[in-house]
Amino acid sequence: MTNDQSGVRNSLASPSPQPLAPSPQPPPDFPQLTWDSTLEDDLRQLMRLAVREDLARGQDWTTVALIGPDAQGRAAMSSRELGVVAGLRALPIIIDEMQADIDVELLMSDGDELAAGSTVAEFSGNARDLLTCERPMLNLVNRLSGIATLTREYVRRIAGTRARIYDTRKTTPGWRRLEKYAVRCGGGHNHRTGLFDAILIKDNHLALAAEEHLAPADAVRRVRCFVEELDAQFIAKDLLVEVEIDRLEWLDDVLAAGPEIVLLDNMTPDQLRAAAIHRDRIAPKIELEASGGVSLGTIHEIAQTGVDRISVGALTHSARSLDLGLDWIT
């Protein structure tokens, strides 16, 4: 997969594409992340690690040596380039976790597009605390804003098609919910959060069951039976079932088995187009997801094939951090 991010920032200056009219019956989907107590708990745990990384059981000795304990200051967080901001909602929580004597005013919202020089937040309070909190705050906002910015560009490049952009589980350990939240800020959609909230039958599952000659369609039927037989206290009965195939000859049987989603792995545009035409004819309610070989250079052609979903690991594993900085207000 190529990691072509050229032109991402500059293209954000163009008008946003008009969204497609919503379907009267939205298709079944994975839970979509919002800013909630679970995500906030993840953030707090990460920030405790960030404090330990920067301070251990000591102090910010440079700041303590040079800045008086009662010194006050004001600072602004601003973007050095075009992009989409994400992570601003984390700033008050970071300040709280670091027990800093700082007030923050958010001037923009997560998902807003930035011009170079846009101020996203202003801070006032103890100058020592501002200096100590600077890097953890910037690390988080820069990282999440980079993901939101790259996602927005992928979304732009499929405007006018039926396809939707999805993230994957190729995330930074511990950061998954935050990074998937940033994808949502960029206009993308969340694939399953973890192994617990959907069933995704992949080639490695089938490979280990090869001695049973378990075909993808048979695997779909088996997991349906498994879900039905397991007590509802252990598993949601409406759990989505998705199955991966890498051969078109499996498509008929898989569609007959009735998963919610069929993942078409590493197929050419011609193969994806043929699969979409066939699906539309015999099982139009089952969604098709394209995966593999997806980049900014290929995304539009893939979206034009008629698939419903395109999963893009690069959104989280290859996004460049957006450049925001913290400067004193005099």
How many whole angstroms separate alpha carbon 171 and alpha carbon 99?
Answer: 28
Q: Which two tokens stand for residue 128?
A: 């020592």
Q: Which of 202, 221, 273, 320 is catalytic?
A: 202
237 is catalytic: no
228 is catalytic: no
202 is catalytic: yes
Q: Which of 261, 270, 262 is nearest to 246 (CA)?
A: 262
- Judge contact between 201 and 262, C-beta under 8 A: no
* 196 contact partners, CB below 8 Å, separation of at least 6: none
Q: Which of 29, 40, 122, 265 is catalytic?
A: 265
Q: Which of 153, 167, 244, 287 is catalytic?
A: 244
How many whole angstroms separate alpha carbon 140 and alpha carbon 311?
Answer: 24
> Which residue shows structure tokens 């039976």?
225
Sheet holding 119-126, edge to edge: 102-106, 119-126, 72-79, 324-328
135 is catalytic: yes
- Residue 88 region, left (φ>0) first, then alpha (ψ -120 to 50), else beta? alpha
Q: Which of 48, 135, 247, 285 is catalytic?
A: 135
Q: Which of 44, 80, 89, 170 is catalytic?
A: 170
How many whole angstroms separate alpha carbon 189 and alpha carbon 196?
Answer: 18
244 is catalytic: yes
Q: Active-site residue numbers?
A: 135, 170, 202, 244, 265
